[in-house]
Structure 1
Amino acid sequence: MPRGQKKKLRGGEKCHQAGGETQALQGGQEPAAEEKSYSPPSSPHLGVTTHTESASALQSTSKVPQRALSTTESTCTSLTRSYKGATHKTVRKQSSSQALPPTVKRPRKSLIGTVRLVVSYMMHMCKIRRPILKANVLKIISKPHREQFHEILRRVSFSLEVVLGMDLKEVDSTKPSYALVSKMNLPNNGVVTRGRGLPKTGLLMNLLGVIFLKGNCATEENIWEFLNKMKVYDGKKHFIFGEPRKLITQDLVKLKYLEYRQVPDSHPARYEFLWGPRSHAETSKMKILEFLAKINHIDPSAFQSRYDEALKDEEERAGAAAVLGDTTADTN
């Protein structure tokens, strides 16, 4: 990668200003010499191909979110194939004992194949709102791989976090089981709308990441460029996210997780996305940065100027909380 002077991104600027800045970066000014490279794990999660790029390079072009969230893109694409393959012929009726669907394909010889099947099974049980029993998970895993159960579960947890925005929790009950808990307080544990479906929290957190890395707002073109890389297309129903335009311009806007507005003085009209008030209330810039860093196997500080902005945001939140605490104490 050519080396040169790094042009620092400015946080908190308007969306159209941020777009011009990132285009300027792409036009010639590359990251400074002090790059911090990271290496992908030797055993990739779910066959995810993580690009070995410098932390500085993750911020250096107009395609920051797409490159920085490459793990999400490839994981989602991989899971699309795996989920459809593993659940296409799922048993018509689940028995009350929640036995493993007999038509789920037997695990592949590779550990990655086993992880994919476990993820697909958990996603299916989440969609139909049935408990995920540990005994049934073990049935998916071949005997040679059961000795690596904790490693398999770690990779499964990572993949579910990346795509669904869900934490895998062990449930303390009469039968050992697992539950998927949304990382944000979306309705219906992340499903958003009533009825069955898969959580949308992962998509929301990724969109919040795109918006933050783009200078706290992202043009509609930025958003669709990212979604297209995840194989999510305008007007085409997605197996996890449903009809994406309705989800991001209506559902998440109505719930106040996203703000969707016309770019000032744009003719013809262009639109942009910002964080909604509920996103500001339920998460923070640092949490989103940590989410992006985790799925790309880097430290949050690698995002440099955005990390500084996130730190400042944390300090302001702490100060506001302290003032609120003092006010509450005075009134009691």
Structure 2
Amino acid sequence: MSLNQKSEHCKLEEDVQAPKEAQSLEGVQAPVAEEEEATAAAAAAATSAPSSSSLTPVIPGPPEEVPAAEALQPLQGPQRACLSPTATTATPSSQSDENPRSQEEEGPSTSQAPLDPEVLNMRVAKLMEYLSVKYTTKEPVTKAEMLMNVIREDKDHFPVIFKKVCECMEVVLGIEVKEVDPASHTYAIVRALDLTYDGMLSDDQGFPKTGFLILLLGMIFMEGNCVPEEKLWDMLSMMRVYPGQEDLVYGEPRKLATQELVKEQYLEYRQVPNSDPPSYEFLWGPRAYAETSKMKILKFFARVSGTDLTSLPSWFEEALRDEEERAQASAASGDDTPAVASASSSTTSSSPPSPE
């Protein structure tokens, strides 16, 4: 399915989404038309990348008083708007030595006029389309290739364009662009947080669903390791993602959350004991505990929101306890076999240990 049909939801402006009738045309459009549609759609997806101004800390007080919905605010609602051409300076938390994109984020010189926002979005769209193909084919990409094949007309603006593309792909799709060879500026496009799931049915169908999974895992952790279904949909509605309503990136969200991710053992979906009428809640599943950790999830949200971990003491302390228990269990077992257990064993204690 083309990017055009899968990314229009990311527009959080007041314009109307592209007609769904376009979906019926897939497979019969001319190659040129398909390319144009995919590029336009990638531009729509690009508008979901949070701006630098929206990635400032949003937690005003002690985290125990702050709901997950507020902590996740930088990824939701109107704040998921286009990165403005002038708001490209990375926050301190994103400028560590571990950031492979730091050398690309310096931006154009101050004497150079910034790109028009519409032009910027189109350049971002083309690069997103290009990198998405590289992701599905599992091919690395170099800066030289991106400049030659995608951004020849605006090479001086490459740092701005590249930074926005990386932010959008990471936050919305759960896909990271990692530098693997600094000398040649070669990058690999991989799933974030070492997760092994992307929800794509084939190499050329749909968008990765890893970003949706990361978002749900973060919500569950920040809500005390267990979130009522009704509350989860309330938080997702801030992103205009609604149960029972087809989403152009995530498909049908309720089916994805309650069936697909449960089947894949990333989530546990269970009835609340003694609830009448029956109500349900979400917890981490065993595969989530095996592949990631509370600390990785917390660091992900802190980084994309520009928030220092020390400003999240309650969640940070729990994540530290989780890391310690994982290390102890790994040492006790004497091997690297993950110690995986169901999240349902406790909704308040740390997760079952598993080696990194």
Provide TM-score, normalisation by structure 1: 0.65
Per the alignment, residue 55 of structure 1 pairs with: 59
Per the alignment, residue 265 of structure 2 pairs with: 256
Which residue of 133, 139, 146 corresponds with 1:125? 133
Q: Distance in 1 between matches of 2:188 and 2:336?
A: 38
Q: Distance in 2 between matches of 1:204 and 1:279?
A: 9
| Kept in 2: contact 1:165–1:202 (CA 8 A) | yes
Letter in 2 for 1:109: D
Answer yes or no: is 1:287 the counterpart of 2:303: no
Q: Distance in 2 between matches of 1:220 and 1:250?
A: 13
Answer yes or no: is 1:266 the counterpart of 2:275: yes
| Kept in 1: contact 2:177–2:188 (CA 8 A) | yes
CA 1:108–1:121 in structure 2 vs 1: closer, same or farther (change >3 Å)?
farther
| Kept in 2: contact 1:114–1:140 (CA 8 A) | no
Q: Deviating runs (4+, > 6 A) in structure 1?
A: none
Equivalent residues in 2 for 1:148-187, closer than 5 Å: 148-170=157-179, 178-184=187-193
Q: Distance in 2 between matches of 1:236 and 1:292?
A: 26
Letter in 1 for 2:199: V
Cα shift at 1:117: 2.1
Letter in 2 for 1:191: G
Letter in 1 for 2:301: L
Cα shift at 1:58: 7.6
Per the alignment, residue 218 of structure 1 pairs with: 227
Which residue of 67, 71, 74 corresponds with 2:70? 67
Letter in 2 for 1:245: R
Cα shift at 1:286: 0.5
Q: Identity of aligned pairs, percent?
A: 40
Work out which of the two has the higher radius of gyration on C-alpha atoms and give 1 or 2.
1
SS state at 1:253 partner: helix
CA 1:300–1:114 in structure 2 vs 1: closer, same or farther (change >3 Å)?
farther
| Kept in 2: contact 1:197–1:240 (CA 8 A) | yes
Report which stretch shifted further, 316-325 or 205-214. 316-325
CA 1:123–1:307 in structure 2 vs 1: closer, same or farther (change >3 Å)?
same
Structure 2, unmatched stretches of 5+, are: 1-47, 83-113, 338-356
Per the alignment, residue 98 of structure 1 pairs with: none
| Kept in 2: contact 1:75–1:159 (CA 8 A) | no
Structure 1, unmatched stretches of 5+, are: 1-43, 80-106
CA 1:302–1:77 in structure 2 vs 1: closer, same or farther (change >3 Å)?
closer
Cα shift at 1:150: 3.5
Cα shift at 1:221: 1.2
Q: Distance in 2 between matches of 1:76 and 1:219?
A: 25
Per the alignment, residue 201 of structure 1 pairs with: 210
CA 1:275–1:160 in structure 2 vs 1: closer, same or farther (change >3 Å)?
same
SS state at 2:326 partner: helix
Cα shift at 1:151: 4.4
| Kept in 2: contact 1:48–1:74 (CA 8 A) | no
User: Aligned pairs, how many?
Assistant: 253
Answer yes or no: is 1:304 the counterpart of 2:307: no
SS state at 2:281 partner: strand
Q: Distance in 2 between matches of 1:289 and 1:302?
A: 12
Task: Indicate the RMSD between aligned Cα atoms, in angstroms.
Answer: 3.5
| Kept in 1: contact 2:124–2:164 (CA 8 A) | no
CA 1:122–1:48 in structure 2 vs 1: closer, same or farther (change >3 Å)?
farther
